[in-house]
Amino acid sequence: MAKLIDGKKVAEEVLAECIQETSELKGRGVVPGLAVVLVGEDPASKVYVNSKARKCEELGIYSEKIVLPCDATQEEVLATVRRLNHDPAIHGILVQSPPPPQINEEEIVRAIAPEKDVDGFHPENVAKLVLEDPSGFVPCTPAGCMRLIQAAGVETKGAEAVVVGRSMIVGKPMALLLMARGSDATVTVAHSRTSDLAAVCRRADILVAAVGIPEFIQADFIKEGATVIDVGINRVEDASAKRGYRLCGDVAYEEASKVAGAITPVPGGVGPMTIAMLMKNTIKAATVASQ
């Protein structure tokens, strides 16, 4: 049976570091500040935004939540971002994704000042990730995945890694982190249309599933003893569940855990790490701004 990689435990370790770093900043008269912009009333997005605000409060980080109506225009969102760019109390800006269809998300991301882009999606930060420039911000979920891999004591040098998923949010930055100097893995980026995907995945010493399809990665995709990082979080209808649905990842956990050497659960794996790394990025932004 696979070793469980406990994302909640590792996230608590990251957050303990954040408390110490925030305390040191406050000792110098600097209070880290995070602004989260929510356009519309999407229930899942509201939950995420509120959880970020609560975490900021726990860590002593100033937080500002801006809720714009679901029919807000592109210019209204851009004006909000520009105001926050010039607000010295705000060190990190996050516009909750996905926005309503009338909003051009790419333009919004590009409007955020790179030094306040704690999501790590601005082209300048993407370029710094490619160039392995540590002054940039790494997207929170891939950064959290790397921290989990390290916490599990998994050796990346010389390892063969397969990332299933090619999004700019997870797949591509995850691949860059794994192949970067210091990590030194040999990386293959695959996706749901990859020819004989199961065979590709079975080569992996480290398998990262970020494809967005419930339980897509089956046990026969996994090399015996491999480390499996499941980024997916999906709602699946389940009449037997109290809420009428259950949460599952992109990996068929029960069977996969019998083959893998180590695996993250869903929930309780990658999810807690994402918000922890967002806090870490916000503190980094405040530190740089105060220098």
> CA–CA separation, 192 vs 127, rounded Å?
26
Of 52, 128, 223, 284, catalytic: 52
Output the CA torsion sign for 46, 48, 52, 54. positive
Check if the beta carbon of residue 104 is closer than 8 Å to that of residue 234: no
Is 119 a known active-site residue? yes
Q: For the chain, report the end-to-end CA distance as a whole number of angstroms.
A: 48
Catalytic residue among 55, 96, 205, 250: 96
Strand, coil or helix: 130 = helix
**CA–CA dist 40, 64 (Å, integer):** 16
172: annotated active-site residue: no
- Of 241, 250, 245, 244, the C-alpha closest to 271 is 250
3-class DSSP state of 75: helix
Of the candidates 168, 144, 286, the one whose C-alpha atom is nearest the C-alpha of residue 229 is 144
Answer yes or no: 52 catalytic. yes
Find the catalytic residue in 55, 116, 117, 119.
119
Q: Which residues are catalytic?
A: 52, 96, 119
